[in-house]
Amino acid sequence: MCQTAHNAGSVAGIAVPNSRLARDVREFVRDTSTELLFNHSSRVYYFAALRGEKLGLRCDPDLLYTGAMFHDLGLLASHSSDADRFEVDGANAARAFLRARGISEEDANNVWLAIALHTTPGIPCHMHPLVALVTEGVEMDVLGLTYKQFSARDREAVVEAFPRSPDFKNDIIQAFYEGIRHKPNTTFGNVKADVLARKDKQFVRQDFCCTILNSAWPA
């Protein structure tokens, strides 16, 4: 399980690490992000840590918190590139943040992977626990894939501490759209193409088979 401190100030028995790094992460993301994404990312941390306990996965709580809090930072104009996937933008921001604070290259790279792969189903679960758990937290809060595997008490405690907006489902889709609509080619082969297809009626998916058949190869 994630080695997350349990104390009187915890949410659903999980606490944010009482460390300088965690405080820096919280302050940076709070000051940089929107309320929607800050609360979402906070819930991702708690759901990820709870899944870690359930699945017996161990990871550094500071790194888990960093991965959860930075995972959607690439949706923001301040951290969005012109050509990279938003996941990579967020991963790059987190790794730079950690390097600047003396975190080891191995740990910084694991956080990078956790963020870069959090919308790539079927892969994170076979990787480092940190990578697996960030995706677990995202899939719970956005997709509800493991909703019934959490107690109502834990779900309610997390949402009470970091509320979902009244129309969170549509709000998060809109946030995804606003973060990626300027670079639609980065959605080729990933789930965010579904967002553009829903929000932009003129969006045309890049088809994998057509890409093969229309390549320069003669056969």
pLDDT at 9: 60
User: Taking 90 as the threshold, does the pLDDT of residue 1 lie above it?
Assistant: no
Tens of pLDDT, residue by residue over 163-202, are: 999 999 999 999 999 999 999 999 999 999 999 999 999 9
| Separation between Cα atoms, residue 173 and residue 164, nearest integer Å | 13
65 assigned to some structural domain: yes
203 assigned to some structural domain: no
Instruction: Note whether 74 and 66 are within 8 A (CB).
Output: no
Q: What percent of the chain has pLDDT over 70?
A: 96
39 assigned to some structural domain: yes
Instruction: Note whether 38 and 165 are within 8 A (CB).
Output: no
Instruction: Note whether 138 and 44 are within 8 A (CB).
Output: yes
Find the CATH number of the domain harbouring 83: 1.10.3210.10
Tens of pLDDT, residue by residue over 84-105, are: 999 999 999 999 999 999 999 9
196 assigned to some structural domain: no
174 assigned to some structural domain: no
Mean pLDDT of 135-148: 98
Count of C-beta atoms within a 10 Å radius of residue 38: 18
25 assigned to some structural domain: yes
As for how many domains the chain has, the answer is: 1
For 98, the domain range is 20-164
Mean pLDDT of 63-71: 98
Q: Which of 7-16, 65-74, 160-169 has the lowest mean pLDDT?
A: 7-16
171 assigned to some structural domain: no
Q: Which of 4-13, 99-108, 117-126, 167-176 has the lowest mean pLDDT?
A: 4-13
69, HSE (Cβ side, Cα atoms, 13 Å) = 26
pLDDT at 46: 98
**What is the SS3 string spanning the chain?**
CCCCCCCCCCECCECCCCCHHHHHHHHHHHHHCCHHHHHHHHHHHHHHHHHHHHHCCCCCHHHHHHHHHHCCHHHCHHHCCCCCCHHHHHHHHHHHHHHCCCCCHHHHHHHHHHHHCCCCCCCHHHCCHHHHHHHHHHHHHHHCCCHHHCCHHHHHHHHHHCCCCCCHHHHHHHHHHHHHCCCHHHHCCCCHHHHHHHHCCCCCCCCHHHHHHCCCCCC
204 assigned to some structural domain: no
Q: What is the pTM of this model?
A: 0.93
